[in-house]
């Protein structure tokens, strides 16, 4: 519209001849420049794959699941070595907790507890909750998770190396499956040193895809 108006003003003030066809051409050019491709024609985003840690590092993926109607949360953690081999998995229920942020922080805490129990010196925890990861690495202590973060900090002296990193959800599927199991168990926690049937396909998929990284 402003293109037609500008052309008309120039014509009115004698600057140039009024050229409606040229105005329409300019409008079409602007429309083309503003064209946003339909989503179905956009380049699909490549999903992130689980990657192996460095030699000597144990990588622990953590996740949480929420059942608001049931008033509970579940956490899941899975540890693997630098060759992508499954070491141990665990899931835990948390009755009365439905806050996603708190649940994800508990998942990271549970990963540290597992590493502490197994006496692993160097660990890398991967969580798909970017807020928790950024708050921890940035030293931000939210009131709702203050006690959890302080507990995690108290464990740091037991490790030679520690890192909490963000991981996309596609690279965190095994931990998520464990967290979902945590919603339904009545036990305090369940630890598995072998790959159970419900996890085998996801663990194998992570391993195979990591070979190409």
Give the three-class secondary structure for 47. coil
pLDDT at 122: 99
Residues 91 and 139 in one domain: yes
Number of folded domains in the chain?
2
Residue 172 lies in a domain: yes
55-79 per-residue burial string, b: 16 or more CB within 10 A, e: under 16: eebbbbbbbbbbeeeeebbbbbbbb
> 30 is in which domain, residue-wise?
2-41
Q: How far, rounded to the nearest angstrom, does the alpha carbon of residue 158 sit from its chain's CA centroid?
A: 26
Residue 48 lies in a domain: no
| Cβ count within 10 A of residue 163 | 14
For residues 141 and 4, what is the distance between their CA atoms, to the nearest angstrom? Answer: 57
Residues 23 and 120 in one domain: no
Residue 159 sits in a domain whose CATH number is 3.30.420.10
Residue 49 lies in a domain: no
For residues 147 and 145, what is the distance between their CA atoms, to the nearest angstrom? Answer: 6
Residue 46 lies in a domain: no
Residues 76 and 119 in one domain: yes
Residues 30 and 129 in one domain: no
Residues 106 and 35 in one domain: no
Residue 92 lies in a domain: yes
Residues 17 and 97 in one domain: no
pLDDT at 13: 47
Q: What is the pLDDT of residues 111-129, one digit of tens each?
A: 999 999 999 999 999 999 9
Residues 101 and 17 in one domain: no
Residues 16 and 101 in one domain: no
Residue 80 lies in a domain: yes
The pTM is what? Answer: 0.78
Residue 140 lies in a domain: yes
Residues 69 and 126 in one domain: yes
Q: CB–CB of 93/182 below 8 Å? A: yes
Give the three-class secondary structure for 33. helix
- 14, pLDDT greater than 70: no
15-52 per-residue burial string, b: 16 or more CB within 10 A, e: under 16: eeeeeeeebeebeeeeeeeeeeeeeeeeeeeeeebbeb
Say what percent of the chain tops pLDDT 90.
Answer: 72
Q: What is the pLDDT of residues 170-184, one digit of tens each?
A: 999 999 999 999 999
In 3D space, the residue among 63, 66, 65, 67 whose CA is nearest the CA of residue 89 turns out to be: 63
Residues 37 and 73 in one domain: no
Residues 126 and 35 in one domain: no
- 10, pLDDT greater than 50: no
Q: What is the mean pLDDT of residues 90-108?
A: 97
Residue 51 lies in a domain: no
Beta strands in the chain (DSSP E): 58-67, 72-80, 86-95, 122-127, 161-166, 190-192
Residues 95 and 22 in one domain: no
């Amino acid at each position: 519209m402003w293109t037609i108006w500008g052309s008309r003003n120039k014509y009115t003030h004698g600057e140039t001849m009024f050229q409606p066809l040229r105005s329409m051409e300019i409008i079409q050019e602007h429309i083309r420049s503003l064209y946003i491709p339909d989503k179905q024609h956009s380049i699909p985003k490549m999903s992130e794959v689980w990657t192996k840690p460095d030699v000597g590092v144990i990588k622990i993926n953590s996740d949480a699941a929420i059942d608001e109607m049931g008033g509970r949360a579940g956490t899941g953690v899975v540890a693997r070595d630098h060759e992508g081999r499954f070491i141990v998995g665990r899931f835990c229920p948390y009755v009365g907790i439905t806050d996603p942020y708190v649940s994800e922080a508990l998942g990271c805490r549970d990963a540290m507890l597992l590493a502490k129990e197994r006496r692993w010196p160097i660990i890398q925890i991967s969580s798909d909750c970017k807020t928790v990861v950024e708050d921890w690495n940035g030293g931000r202590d939210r009131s709702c998770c203050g006690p959890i973060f302080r507990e995690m900090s108290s464990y740091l002296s037991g490790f030679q190396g520690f890192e909490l990193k963000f991981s996309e959800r596609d690279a965190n599927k095994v931990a998520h499956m464990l967290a979902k199991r945590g919603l339904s168990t009545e036990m305090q926690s369940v630890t598995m040193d072998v790959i159970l049937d419900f996890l085998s396909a996801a663990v194998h998929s992570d391993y195979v895809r990591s070979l190409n990284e």
